[in-house]
Amino acid sequence: MSVKIPSNPVSVENFVNGKFQKATGPQIKIMSPYNGKVIGEMNSTTSAEVDTAVKAAKAAQAEWAQVPLKERTKVMFNFRQILLREIDEISHLKSSESGKSFAEGKAGLMKGIEVLEFAIALQNMDMGGKVEVSRGVSCEYRREALGVVANITPFNFPAMVPMWTIPIALTLGNAYIWKPSEKTPLTSMKIAAALKEAGLPDGLFQVLQGGRETVEAIIDHKDVKAVGFVGSTPVAKAVYERGTGKGKRVLALGGAKNHIVLLPDANPELSGMGISDSFTGCAGQRCMAAAVLLAVGDVDKHIQKIVERAGSLVLGQDMGAIITKPQVEFLNNAITAAEKAGAKLLLDGRKAKAPAGLEGGNWIGPTIIDNVKPGSEAATLELFGPVLSIVRCKDISQAMEIENSVDYGNACSVFTSSGNLAEKVIRMASTGMVGVNVGVPVPREPFSFGGTNASKFGHGDITGHHSLDFWSNVKKVTVKWEKQDDGNWMS
């Protein structure tokens, strides 16, 4: 299905206290990667507007924290129904602003809804516990909300990444401030409207549009207790340092350079499809995309399958567009630099033709570069486009040495038919997520998501069971009602 692109610019607004309202800071235009046309206009949120929104969120949260968990999850259940009802419209919108295909837009939202289902299930999980620790004395732990929390999200998943945190943070009793990417803010209005319709009390979900200044005002606000961030590594690090420097809880997920280890005993069909789809899906603009193929031994027939599949993709249908024109230029330059350094192009996307009628968009075709040198830019720098660099390796040990040498640590996969060799890669990989015969090793809920090294700053998980400790405090309560005569120090 082709993506429906808004024909008139959408007025993108903040959502504060249950109402849409324009911010008053500098203006930002939003362009569709599909056709290069303006599809939205908005203003950045000033620090005074951040202050107003956080104060209102704080007041709303004090009441929300008194609402029993079971009642809070009812709102999330309604939210799920509304998102499913609106899924096609939201998927068109998010694809038109991020460059995804319609199917990718829809898949991202469905993945976000999985997190929502986890949040709904919290009502039936063991959320505390009580033990008689001494005669007549009991200890109990209780989960309590933090207060006002914030989340900053990247352009490439306008709904999925925010949905990693919105349902869990709200269900646990927090108020939530969201700063969407200024490149893809349109979807945020749909999510805000869905939460309002679901019955979420005003003030608990505030959307503040803008860029760096707005982010910094949010982090610096004294009443913002925790900050979640997903984006590039330099910004993740800056956000982590700024937030923790102010004594806040911060979990910041950063960029990636993911490796796939291809072994000669791999199934050529499975690896051809898995590896091609991994580096071309979302036009390579996802932090789980394959970026470097560590080709061990003679795997030429496997590589041929990857080239055939990637080369058959139709731009605008099977593969979407690149977020901005400067990013297309950056990718073109990176490919040219690798070629000049002696690498060989098996597939060259630089001259790919734009789909008819979308000539003003940001296009590049799938690109496969062979004989890339380990340590070179094509092998180590996050390119964030549909570019696969092949590094030839003599054995697994050399492949894993290269994998371990890169700064990032998001994902690593191996394609093999040997359990033993797969286990070797699983153990040696330096990443937070590992796949066996899957090109995009994205764990399903409740297994959460996240890397190591320069792909993640902070501890714990952003979703799943371990996220509960990020989005809440655990209070320990010790109780005695009667005097005891057993001489125990607690009694």
Q: Which residues bind ligand NAD (CB under 6 A)?
A: 152-157, 161, 179, 181-182, 211-212, 215, 230-232, 235, 238-239, 253-256, 287, 382, 384, 410, 451, 455
Q: How far is the CB of 449 from ligand NAD (least distance, A)?
A: 6
> What residues does 21 pair with on adjacent strands?
14
The answer to whether the beta carbons of residues 140 and 128 sit under 8 Å apart is yes
The answer to whether the beta carbons of residues 172 and 145 sit under 8 Å apart is yes
Nearer to ligand NAD, 173 or 180 (CB): 180
Nearer to ligand NAD, 231 or 272 (CB): 231
CA-to-CA distance for 490 and 486, rounded, in angstroms? Answer: 10
Q: Which residue is nearest to ligand NAD (CB)?
A: 231
- In one-letter notation, the amino acid at residue 10 is V
Q: How far is the CB of 21 from ligand NAD (least distance, A)?
A: 20
Beginning with the edge strand found earlier in the chain, give each strand of the sheet holding 472-480 in spatial order. 129-134, 137-145, 472-480
Nearer to ligand NAD, 230 or 293 (CB): 230
- In one-letter notation, the amino acid at residue 201 is P
Q: How far is the CB of 383 from ligand NAD (least distance, A)?
A: 10
The answer to whether the beta carbons of residues 261 and 292 sit under 8 Å apart is no
Mapping DSSP to helix (H, G, I), strand (E, B) and coil, where does residue 202 land?
coil
Q: How far is the CB of 71 from ligand NAD (least distance, A)?
A: 31
Q: How far is the CB of 123 from ligand NAD (least distance, A)?
A: 27
Q: How far is the CB of 366 from ligand NAD (least distance, A)?
A: 18
Burial-class residue 150 by CB neighbours within 10 Å (0-12, 13-18, 19+).
buried
Contacts of 333 by beta carbon, 8 Å cutoff, 6+ apart: none
The DSSP 8-state label assigned to residue 4 in this structure reads P
Nearer to ligand NAD, 47 or 232 (CB): 232
The answer to whether the beta carbons of residues 259 and 294 sit under 8 Å apart is yes
Nearer to ligand NAD, 146 or 227 (CB): 227
Active site residue 287: yes
For residue 279, give both structure tokens.
Answer: 């580096």
Nearer to ligand NAD, 341 or 381 (CB): 381
Burial-class residue 407 by CB neighbours within 10 Å (0-12, 13-18, 19+).
middle
Start-end of H helices in 228-315: 233-245, 268-280, 300-311
Q: How far is the CB of 73 from ligand NAD (least distance, A)?
A: 25
CA-to-CA distance for 97 and 225, rounded, in angstroms? Answer: 31
Nearer to ligand NAD, 34 or 157 (CB): 157
Name the active-site residue from 282, 287, 393, 412.
287
CA-to-CA distance for 129 and 45, rounded, in angstroms? Answer: 42
> Would you please indicate which residues are annotated as catalytic (active-site) residues?
287
